[in-house]
Chains A and B, each alone.
Chain A
Amino acid sequence: MLNACADRYHFTVGFAASLVSGKLSLLPSTRTPEVVRQLRAFAPDVVCLTDEEDCDIELPRVPYPRGGGRPDTSPPRAPALSVPAIAAAQPAACVFTSGSTGTPVPYRKSWGPLIGCVREGAWRLGVAGGASCAIVATVPPQHMYGLESSVLMALGEGHALCAERPFYPADIAAGLAAVPRPRILISTPIHLRALLESGIALPGADLIVCSTAPLPAQLAADIERRCATRLLEIYGSTETGQIALRRPTQSAEWRLWPGITLSVRGEETWAQGGHIEQPTRMWDVLEVTGDGLFLLHGRVADLVNIAGKRSSLAYLSHQLNSIPGVVDGAFFHVDDPRAAHTGVARVAACVVAPQLDAAQVVEQLRRRIDPVFLPRPLVFVAQLPRTSTGKLPQEALRSLAAAHLKSA
């Protein structure tokens, strides 16, 4: 089942229903027509659960039941339903990463490791076994971090969920103020920076959790001061889920979940053990600094991470080259001096496509890749600066694009 519900409560009901009926929840990072086509090939019997009337996903749709929108808050009538037990080995969810060949790579998550990881996280965040908290989250439940830190955190630890997904700073402040304490904000560097810079009055929070990209230490300190709280950062990936934690105002080092180890294989770092079901390559440059400790030194060169959505230059370039009329094309990282401040580093592309215009290429890309990866800018060139071995140095692409933009 593809659970496309926008409302976090609807999503949670759909996720739980798929668990008790032994179905697998498919969680792609984006739902472009091309990804939906690949999902149909991966699981021909897939259906889409949706709570939006104008849903245009090309799959058989199951509308979220009308009138079932909100939980029944009247006193329970006996006998109360018992909480179903889910076998640890039951496949619960399937997430996807973009392979370099154009076909997403599926990762199946069993219920035991999935919820075990979150319960370990709750203990480390200091929100296990105590008072029930209200969780306000700015991340979608379909994203691995959002699934773990909002939906599964509530299911596993008996916390309360806010169904809304606040977006603007004023929404986040109002969303927090609307729920009783203790309350937790689950967010990202992009939202936290906007929240801080907007200058609006921030209601107190008992814990703020941040993930998807490293948070600058100064921003972390400002947030802790303004919200009079602790800010904890989670490190993880789509494949592994959350695996490490730090408090950026106190330590640059990350502490791994118990049982998880990192190993270096040449230039690659792999994670294994604990809730990780198979050894997994991490797409960041990690330096092991002690027992269960590491430093994060940024992403590997090919990786693209924009607002928690991950792709690779190879995958994006493959999609560009699959467009009819594109002779050659390549994505590359741009040097945007504002990226350090905004936390958003966009990607650019050079393309050789004499028969197409920019609008046509962008329209075709929009069908294939998430809009956050659309090239800024998209530069039309006569040919790509390939070396004699066919390689495309990133620096040569940047120089070529810069020269074209200057002369335009």
Chain B
Amino acid sequence: MSEKVSPLRQPAAPVSAAAFTHEVAGLIVEALNLDVAPADIDPAQPLYGEGLGLDSIDILEIALVVSKRYGVQLRADGEENERIFGSLRQLVDYITAHRTK
């Protein structure tokens, strides 16, 4: 049995969790042209519906920029899907674990 298997794919350029959260928040604000500063998005607040008030059109747009920037293709039938957009923090965690670029 090989001992050399890496358990997790690491981000291409490791940054602190807080900085990466800010980066993703900035990406969302820019993609959706939101009237809010990235730093003002509460990482624990729901993204969908109440909270930040995004709808399914926004979620599709976020999925698109996330796939382009980080190489993560989201799937609706994955069990994690509802959780991923539960909050900014959960979205960031998901990208961190699955990014390919």
Interface residues of A (CB under 8 A from B): 164, 166-171, 174, 190-191, 194, 197-200, 306-307, 336, 338, 342, 344, 362-363, 366, 371-372, 374, 376-377, 405
Contacts and interface: CB of A to CB of B under 8 A. Distances in A.
A263 B76 CA distance: 44
B60 interface: yes
B75 A174 contact: yes
A168 B57 contact: no
Contact of A169 (B33, B50, B57, B73): B73
Contacts of A168: 60, 63, 73-76
B74 A170 contact: yes
Nearest to A191: B60
Contacts of B35: 376-377, 405
A376 B74 CA distance: 26
Give the interface size bracket for B toward A: 20 to 34
Interface in B34-83: 34-35, 49-50, 53, 55-57, 60-61, 63-64, 67-68, 73-77
A194 B60 contact: yes
Contacts of B34: 376
A194 B49 contact: no
B53 A374 contact: yes
15 contacts: A167-B56, A169-B63, A170-B75, A171-B76, A174-B75, A191-B60, A199-B68, A307-B57, A342-B61, A362-B53, A363-B50, A371-B55, A376-B33, A377-B35, A405-B35
Nearest to A337: B33
Nearest to B71: A199
Nearest to A372: B55
A367 to B, nearest CB: 12
A338 B74 contact: no
Given A168-B63, A194-B63, A377-B35, A200 B73 contact: yes
Nearest to B76: A167
B68 A190 contact: no
Contact of B60 (A164, A167, A376, A377): A167
B76 A198 contact: no
A171 B77 CA distance: 8
A200 to B, nearest CB: 6
Nearest to A379: B35
A363 B49 CA distance: 10
